[in-house]
Structure formats: structure tokens, C-alpha cells
Amino acid sequence: MAVSSALCIFSLLALVQAQSESQQPKIQLRLAGDKRKHYEGRLEVSYNNEWGTICDDDFSIEAAHVACRELGFLGAVAWSPSAKFGQGEGRIWLDNVHCTGREKSLAECPSNGFGVSDCRHSEDVGVICNQKRIPGHRFINTMNNNVETLEERVEEIRIRPISSHLKRIPVTEGYVEIKERGKWRQICDEAWTPLNNRVVCGMYGFPGDKNYNNKVYKSLSMRKKKNYWRFSVNCTGNEAHLSSCRLGKPLEPKRNGTCGRGLPVVVSCVPGRAFAPSSSTGFRKAYRPEQPLVRLRGGSNIGEGRVEVLKNGVWGTVCDDNWNLRAATVVCRELGFGSAKEALTGAKLGQGMGPVHMNEVECSGFEKSLTDCYFNNDALGCSHEEDAAVRCNIPAMGFQKRIRLSGGRNPYEGRVEVLTEKNSSLVWGTVCSENWGIVEAMVVCRQLGLGFASHAFQETWYWAGDASADNVVMSGVRCSGTEMSLPQCLHHGKHISCPKGGGRFAAGVSCSDTAPDLVLNAQLVEQTTYLEDRPMYALQCALEENCLSSTAKKNDHSSYRRLLRFSSQIHNVGQSDFRPKLGYHAWTWHECHRHYHSIEVFTHYDLLSLNGTKVAEGHKASFCLEDTQCDEGIQKRYVCANFGEQGITVGCWDTYRHDIDCQWIDITDIKPGDYIFQVVLNPYYDVAESDYTNNVMKCKCRYDGYRIWMYHCHTGGSRSSDMDEYPGMSNQLHFR
């Protein structure tokens, strides 16, 4: 193939030049397979211009290191046997590969010899490389094994703003430059296309591009010396990164440093609404945002999550059959992010609830919405174990540079320290821990890119932070949980008020890659509701645990209480087990019920008037958490009996039957009428969850004085806002 033909900028094809041309064969390596990241995949090798695979027999991490370095990465993180990235085609070129890890190429490692194998493609090996690339790594076009072809040393790509745009965050406009052999070079715009702009903006977290003032850049380019890269770029518009585009013909730079009639490439990107610079003056016109058709749920960071779509007013998930980067990118751009970094399958960001709306999605990549893509309405055979998810490119906002965790045993924990301006200089300081909770901790972990919060600490004496940062620089912090950074939360501003001060009483967090997610089975509540008139002499334990209304204390033993009874089935559909906040030592023994309670208040049961006023309540004074049942193939881990461990395993549920104490609302004093029945899980945010919006369940309820009907039960966030049957009532928790 001639040099003028197409090739990849960051091609994962690496020529292995033999130490001895006559003895060592020439090979090329590449990563292949579907549903993978760019630095991992099935390891394929080209020998005698024919691509084939490598058997996993005797393969090792040392061999993976050799392969990854050969591909231009710093090394390997792991390797995968048994065709994890799909079965390849063609011949199995290598088997029983033995490497020490010091070889420059797999061709140097002892093996059975090329083409000598007793393996099948079900044994194709894969590798997971370190994401960092070798600076200045030599990428060579070797499609015809011609050693004398072009050598490239492309390392990085950037958007460099002009001086008047330097302080803008995020950087949306500037020159597109490529780092080659340690030097930044411009690209000539002679053959540059709008599709190339789309790819560059997408990889930097922007959904699209726009026109810019060409006169400014033309004037600047005439005054500055140019240093052009030697090639044009040809993108289709669907590439996740400019490195995946193909190169056009080499350009012949003119003696005066110009590129013919062209100028350096400039892009101007349009940020999504969440990242758009706020206007410093004036007011935005009031608007009613349209109901989105697509949303992300269960992700720890902005721009990632399980994909959910709205159909007939009900939110549902997408089956991962045929799920790929093109479909994922349509989702990301639709939501105001850039192109997709990953198309995740197998419910890697948690399982959804409700229907599966889409299956076998196929997108061209240019659709405005995922709902415009071709898909199969029939999701028969698709379970929530196959829910599709995405991780999108988002703009670099610089949030991580203004916050840090100090003194922890690992990078995921520590005292929270923020960078703030004081007396015209930037200083680090602590955050007041008064009213500091898990929601605020969630924002910190998101800002740092460390996932979810697992704990929020109001004392950090056990973490020796930076002594120079002991002073409190932020107080009164109250977050809703959706903020991208801590300063976006409500706080006191310049007038700090913190009674206990900083230092040992400063706020702290510990973060985790995963979190649980509790959801109540609304259908079961609807099906199991009934009324019972129960005598007071049978309610003594319940009275002790405050499970009856206040008027019950005045009744004698022969009187009756009317109880609205129902069953609760609480599923953990998250990515980690739900565990009590308190350890064994702090659990409470309840003599009446003969077991330990690990959480003081875990659910609220309320009966509300149609305008939202609470007219009756019942709550589990405390909870004993255990696995009642689990999905097929999942083992129970938690049991309350005999002072056992308490919790709810991922894929399991804890059922509180309608016939046990306190599983009711005392409605003895309630008049007949229409009401709203509400259940709130984890109301005080005692334990971190990946999604709190689904912790509330509401039903319509009609009581005629003798019978009760429960209908239209659904969990928070499961319906369109246009179909909200409880106008004026939010599904957000209000107990903080």
C-alpha cells in the first residue's frame, strides 16, 4: 500500500523489525473484538499478510506486557483467556507462547511456531493494556510489510485556545494541534472537513461544532511561524477519537511554511447545557424544559449511566444485544455530552426496573435521538441483567484541581480540602463538618472522579491532613446531590460559620467505585394491601416500638386499632451490597421481637391527603436487614438470626410480610376518603445509594370506612413528569 493511501494516526498496527532480518519473522499486532475499550481486546497477529489469533495456552502476564508495549502502551494490566472479547477468524498463528517480559516483540518469544496449534477460536487470548501510551512510540504503516514505509511518532492531540480565550472554561475553541516527536504541530485545513470537526469536538466532550470568526485566526496565523504536520485527516464523523480517523495524502509544505492556500485548522465546539458558561449579567428567559426521551441512571460520574428511554409515559431500559459505540455516541450527544468512551453491556452500571423498551439497536451515528435509530420492539428473552449503559466524554472543567483528599490510607479516602481565594492568593483549607452528610460526600467523590461516596465523616482526627490547610474555608454546605462540584452546592460564602472549627472536626469522605440501589416492589404493595382490626393486648411490642399512632397510648387492652397492612419487598439492584451504617457494637436488641436492629429508621410509611398533608404514619422503628430471596445463581449472604451479619446482597431482596409487627399504618382515627399512600426507603440517607430518586413509592388509596383500595402504585422516577398522578408532589426525599 502506497504512502499516499489511508492509514490510522494512532494505528495499533506495530511492525516488529527483526534483530536479524533473515531469522526473525515480521509480524503485526492489533486489538479486535466488539464491546471493548480502545486499549483492550482480542489479540490478533498478522503473519505473511494474513491475520489470525493467539491461543491462550501458557499465555502469561509477561506475554501481555510484551504485546501491549509492541502496540504502543506502557504495559499490560491483565490478560483474558477463553475468547472474552469474542472469537476471531482465520488461522491461530501462535500457541504455547512463553515470554520473559523483556522481549521487544512476541515474535521473539518461544512458541510452537507459526501456524502450529491444536486450539480452537474459543481459546483466543485477549489483553487489557495500560491506558497510557509510550511517548514518541513509533507507529509504522506495514500493511504490505514494506519496512521502508512512513514512520509516525504521534503522541497527543489538543485544542489550543488563543490568548483572548485562555480563561474560558471549558476550552471550546482553538487550534487543533498534534504532538509529534515532542513538538506540537498544526494541521493544514486544505482537506479538513466538518466531519473532522465533529470528531474533535466529540472527543473533548462537546455534542457539536459551530462557526467561528475566521478573520481573527487568519490575522494571527499571518503573524506567527507555522509548524505544520505533514498529513491531512479523513474522518467519517463516527470515530470516538481523531486517532481512529484515516490519514489522507501527505502534504507538501511550501518554502514559506504555508500549506498552499490553507491555514491552521481551528475548531469551535458547542458545549452541552450543563457545561455552558453562565452569563454574568442579565437573566435567562424563563422556559419549560421539554420532557427528555432518554436519560442516564446509576452512574457515579456525570456523563455515565444505565440508558433508559421513555415510552408511553413509562421509563424502561435498553437491551444490550448489538449495543455498540455508535448507539452509545448517539445517546451521549443527545444528552449534551461528547462522543462515547465506552458502550457498556451486562448491566455494568446496575439493573433497571420496569419494561425493556428497546432491543437490537442499530444507529448510523448521526441520529438526533436514540429513538430515531432502528430497533426491535420485541425484547423477549432480554432481562435487566442485559441493560445497556454508556460512558461519555465530558469537557475538562478543571474541577479536580480545586479539591483533594488528605491524610487517608488510600486515594479514595481522607479529609476534604478545597482550594479557595483569600487575600488575592489561592490557599487550601478544610470544610466545616456541621450537617455534613452522605449527599455532600457524593458530590466530593464525583468531583474527584472517584465514584460514589461510601461514608461521610464529621470527625477526621485519625487522618493527619496538611497542617497548613486546617483552617475552615467553606461552611454551611448543603447539596442536592446533582452538583458537579462542591462550590455549586449552597454554602455560606465569605462569612464562615463553624462552631467546632476545622482540623480534627473537618469534613471527610471515603469513596467507592460501586454503590447499592434499593427499589421497592410497587406491584406487591398493591396486591397485598388489606385492613385488620387488632386488639390492643396483641399490640404491646408494636406500642413499645412506636408503630402505632399517639392516641393508642390512651386505649385500654380491650380496645381495637384499625391497621392498613401490606407487604414490602425491597430489591437491591445496584452494584454492591447494602450494609448498615452502624457496626455490631451499635445495634439495638429488641426483646419483644427477639432480634437486633441495625438501622434506627429505615422506612417511612405515610398516608397523605391529596394536597400532601400527612394524616397518618407508621414506620419501622428500626430494621433487621437480611436476604429473603435472591435471583437465580446468587447466594444469600445476610441473615438476622443468631446475631448474624445484616444487609441485602446485590440481586437479592428483603421481604417484610404483611403479617409481621409494624408492617402497617395505624388508620384508626382516619375518616373515609381518598388519600395518597407513600413509602420512603432510607429516608435519612443513612447509607449511600447510586440512585435516591427511586426510593419513594406512591399509590392512590380510597377508604370507605370498611374497605380500602390501593391502585396506581409506582416508584419515583418510573413515569414521565407529564403523567404525574400526584401534581405538586415531588418524588425527592424531604427529610434532610
Backbone angles phi, psi at 552, to 5 degrees: -65, -25
> Within this chain, do residues 419 and 389 fall inside the same structural domain, yes or no?
no
Element (H, E) at 29: strand 27-32
In a domain, 10, yes or no: no
Where helices occur in 298-374 by DSSP H, the ranges are 325-334
> Over 80: is that where the pLDDT of 530 sits?
yes
625 closest CA partner among 649, 654, 660, 587: 654
- More confident: 284 or 491: 491
Instruction: Kindly report which listed range (20-29, 244-253, 512-521, 587-596) carries the lowest average pLDDT score.
Output: 20-29
The Cα–Cα gap between 603 and 623 comes to 8
Q: Which residues contact 344 (CB under 8 A, 6 or more apart)?
A: 388, 389, 390, 391
| Residue 226 shares a structural domain with residue 370 | no
Do the domain assignments include residue 721?
Answer: no
Q: What is the mean pLDDT of residues 198-212?
A: 92
Q: What average pLDDT does the chain have?
A: 83
Average pLDDT over residues 503-508: 89
For 659, half-sphere exposure in the C-beta direction (CA atoms, 13 angstrom radius) is: 0
Query: 647 and 570 in one domain?
Result: yes
Q: Pick the last residue of a domain from 461, 486, 512.
A: 512
- CA torsion 357-361-366-369 (nearest 10°) is 0
Beta-carbon contacts of 565 under 8 Å, excluding residues fewer than 6 positions away, are 528, 529, 530, 531, 532, 658, 659, 663, 664
Per-residue pLDDT, 575: 87
Residues 473 and 540 in one domain: no
**CB burial class (10 A; 0-12, 13-18, 19+) of residue 422?**
exposed
Q: Are strands 560-565 and 472-474 parallel, antiparallel or unpaired?
A: unpaired
Most confident listed range (62-66, 117-121, 478-482, 728-732): 62-66
User: What is the per-residue pLDDT for 722?
Assistant: 53
The three cell numbers locating residue 23: 531469522
| Cis amide prior to 170 (ω within 30 degrees) | yes
Q: Are residue 594 and residue 683 in the same domain, yes or no?
A: yes
Q: Which of 1-10, 136-145, 190-199, 721-730 has the lowest mean pLDDT?
A: 1-10
Q: Which three cell numbers stand for residue 459?
A: 470527625
Binning pLDDT at 50, 70 and 90, where does residue 276 land? confident
Beta strands in 81-153 (DSSP E): 91-94, 126-129, 139-140, 151-152
Q: Is 247 in the same domain as 164?
A: yes
Hunting for cell 472474552 — which residue is that? 84
Could you tell me the pLDDT band of residue 585, with boundaries at 50, 70 and 90? confident
State the average pLDDT over residues 365-393: 89
214-268 tens-digit pLDDT: 888 877 777 666 788 878 888 889 888 887 787 777 776 665 556 766 788 999 9
The answer on 625 and 567 residing in a single domain is: yes
pLDDT reported for residue 621 = 55
Per-residue model confidence as pLDDT tens digits over 121-165: 889 999 999 877 776 565 543 333 222 233 444 567 889 888 777
Mean pLDDT of 505-534: 92
Residues 498 and 544 in one domain: no
pLDDT given for residue 254 in this prediction: 62
Residue 109 sits in which domain range? 27-129
* 412-454 tens-digit pLDDT: 999 999 998 887 788 999 999 999 999 999 999 999 999 999 9
Are residues 242 and 381 part of one domain?
no
CA distances from 314 to 151, 293, 296, 332 (A): 54, 10, 15, 21
Q: Are 618 and 605 contacting, i.e. CB atoms less than 8 angstroms apart?
A: yes
State the pLDDT confidence band at 538, using cuts at 50, 70 and 90.
confident
pLDDT for the residue 309: 94
What cell numbers appear for 541 in the block? 411490642
Joined together, the cell numbers standing for residue 716 give 419515583
pTM of the model: 0.75
What pLDDT was estimated at residue 22? 41
Q: What angle do CA 81, 83, 86 make, to 5 degrees?
A: 150
Instruction: Assign 3-class secondary structure to 393-448.
Output: CCCCCCHHHHEEEEECCCCCEEEEEEEEEECCEEEEEEEECCCCCHHHHHHHHHHH
- Assess whether 99 and 41 both reside in one domain: yes
pLDDT at 34: 66
Is the distance from CB of 525 to CB of 567 less than 8 angstroms?
Answer: yes
Lowest mean pLDDT among 22-31, 163-172, 203-212, 631-640: 22-31
Cell of 212: 467561528
Element (H, E) at 220: helix 214-223
Q: Are 230 and 250 in contact (CB under 8 A)?
A: yes
SS3 category, 8: strand
List Cβ neighbours of 495 (8 Å cut-off, separation of 6 or more). none
Q: Domain ends where: 393, 418, 447?
A: 393
Give the residue-averaged pLDDT of 461-472.
Answer: 84
For 122-156, b/e burial (b = at least 16 CB within 10 A) is ebbbbbbbeeebeeebebbbbeeeeeebbebebbe
> Residue 722 falls within a domain, yes or no?
no
Same-domain status, 467 and 524: no
What number is the average pLDDT over the span 308-326?
Answer: 91
Domain contains 180: yes
Question: In total, how many domains does the chain have?
Answer: 5
pLDDT at residue 518 tops 80: yes
Co-location of 538 and 616 in the same domain: yes
CATH number at residue 62: 3.10.250.10
Within a domain: 226: yes
